[in-house]
Amino acid sequence: MRGVIIFGSSRSHGNTRKVVDLLLDQLKFDLIDLKEKNIAPFDYDFKNSEDDFIPTISEVVEKYDLILFATPVYWYSMSGILKNFFDRISDCLKTEKEIGRKLRGMSLAAISCGYDQQTVAGFHEPFEYSANYLGMKYKGFLHTWIKDDAEVEVEVKTAIHTFGKSLIENQ
């Protein structure tokens, strides 16, 4: 299985990245850092079609079987950077239908990193519902936390490892 982590934090080397790096060590997935991309919000007139979204999603559907979305918790939700990317998946249902068809059958999972040990109820639902809507296989969600920009706690490391293992074993 070839997997990619689509990482959407407002800082490339912050807390979510610590969690992502543990998964990269374990899974040997590739990484796409959305902070390095120029991806505009969804536009009904598709005037942003020349930005980085189409090349990025095209590469993803050509090269990978599994997308693992990684996001910090910002205001009880996924980050704005990642939400923009999600909204732009609508392009694949309108002007880029061939890409949309290739998403079908792929797998999707998600991981979050917050300050609080828990997320609000339903945090994972946009990921699960979007996977279902797109005909993708939903492989689950893990919430992690880091206090005061510290190192990743052992309990969190163990949970990440178990989650990573489940992604490999439960294809």
Q: Is 73 in the site for ligand FMN (CB under 6 A)?
A: yes
- Counting Cα atoms < 13 Å in the Cβ hemisphere of 89 gives 20
- Which of 22, 108, 110, 113 lies at the binding interface for ligand FMN (CB under 6 A)? 113
- Which of 16, 66, 88, 108 lies at the binding interface for ligand FMN (CB under 6 A)? 16
Helix axes 53-63, 80-88, angle to 10 degrees: 80
- Phi-psi bin for 86: left (phi > 0), alpha (psi -120 to 50), beta? alpha
- Which of 36, 44, 47, 75 lies at the binding interface for ligand FMN (CB under 6 A)? 75
Q: Is 8 in the site for ligand FMN (CB under 6 A)?
A: no
Closest CB to ligand FMN: residue number: 14
List of residues 6+ apart from 43 with CB closer than 8 A: none
In this complex, which beta carbon is closest to ligand FMN, that of residue 16 or of residue 107? 16
User: What distance in Å separates the CA atoms of residue 133 and residue 129, rounded to the nearest whole number?
Assistant: 6
Q: Is 146 in the site for ligand FMN (CB under 6 A)?
A: yes
Which residues contact ligand FMN (rule: CB under 6 A)?
9-11, 14-16, 72-76, 113-116, 146
